[in-house]
Amino acid sequence: MIIKVLGSAAGGGFPQWNCNCSNCVAVRSGTPGLKARTQSSLAVSRDGENWVLLNASPDLRQQLNATPELHAKPKFGPRHSPIKAVVLTNGDVDHIAGLINLREAQAFSVYGTDRVLSIVADNSIFNILAEPLVPRIVLPLDRPTPLSGAGVELGLTVEAFAVPGKVALYLEDEAAGPDLGTKEGDTIGLKVTDPATAKSFFYIPGCSQIDEPLGARLKDASVVFFDGTLFTDNEMIEQGLMPKTGGRMGHINMSGSEGSIETFSKLGVGRLIYVHINNSNPALNEASDARKTIEGAGWEVGYDGLEVRL
Ligand code: MLT
Ligand code: MN
Ligand code: ZN
């Protein structure tokens, strides 16, 4: 199985168009030790020919151009794409807007929970991806589902599971109380497995807490790509960027006693890779103390183009 990180940044990317945080200023001016990053997405393939995207970011066109494996191959005729399926982990703009890049009458499948597919259905612009060419397939929770699209079996299964999180920003309902109207299926993690080798990895780009069931599920996993949005819960407030904590945004932070570094230190995972990293996160700077802390704890900082083979 081949896994490619297409985009390792959170919503907004790095640099973010309207942001003058110290990281965004530094990466824009070419300061060594900071890499520009596109928005959150992975591509996965068993055979290197047929691929599934895990999330479709607004930067997808740029990501495809940067990834030869995902280019149209002339041997298949005048129109072709190696992308046979897309799996959505929530309804965030950074995870669904790229579906619109996949128009032009190409067959593939879109997988998501009933909650996330209902967002796609409610927004008529996505009808540019019309059934039956682009079927929308409901992913059940806690059951491996074989992936296919455009008449091709990908030879991979995906198991969706609910994780603590939040409904998409533009659907938050303050009147619904502290959970903002969040329901099961609004945010999921994925376990992708190659049944032929029994190898698997987890992808959890949005998660507000590693609770007991999630910890049990991830224990002794070989590879986990995990929510690296913020280093500290209040970093966006401290940097004067936004009046929200990470918790309010539905994202766990890396540091602290409840953070991902501490929690994963007890789970025995083989390889831990942060993705969905927000531009405010000090760990984006290779010279930072935050970067030393996370690398010292055995974590890798995902970057666009990172390839993992299992
Ligand atoms: C998030 O992950 O919190 C969202 O991507 C925020 C956003 O939509 O900008
Ligand atoms: Mn996001
Ligand atoms: Zn910034």
207 Cα–ligand 3 center, Å: 21
What is the CA(277)–ligand 2 centre distance, in A?
9
pLDDT of amino acid 151:
97
Residue 8 and residue 303 in contact, taking contact as beta carbons nearer than 8 Å: yes
Strand partners, 158: 145, 192
Beta-bridge partners for 111: 87, 137
pLDDT in tens, 96-146: 999 999 999 999 999 999 999 999 999 999 999 999 999 999 999 999 999
CB 182 within 8 A of CB 162: no
Indicate the DSSP class of residue 140: P
Distance 28 CA to ligand 3 centre (A): 10
% of the chain with per-residue pLDDT over 90 = 100
CA 308 vs. chain centroid, Å, equals 15
The pLDDT value recorded for residue 286 is 98
Q: Is residue 273 classed exposed, middle or buried when 0-12, 13-18 and 19+ CB atoms within 10 A define those classes?
A: buried
Q: What pLDDT sits at residue 139? A: 98
Torsions phi, psi for 28 (to 5 deg): -65, -35
Q: What is the pLDDT of residue 13?
A: 98
Give the number of the atom of ligand 1 that is nearest the alpha carbon of residue 249.
3
Rounded to two decimals, the pTM is 0.98
Closest Cα to residue 35, out of 289, 285, 296? Answer: 285
d(CA 218, CA 194): 17
Average pLDDT over residues 148-153: 98
**Per-residue model confidence as pLDDT tens digits over 177-200:** 999 999 999 999 999 999 999 999
Q: In angstroms, rounded to a whole number, what is the distance separating the alpha carbons of residues 166 and 28?
A: 31
pLDDT grade for 201, boundaries at 50, 70 and 90: very high
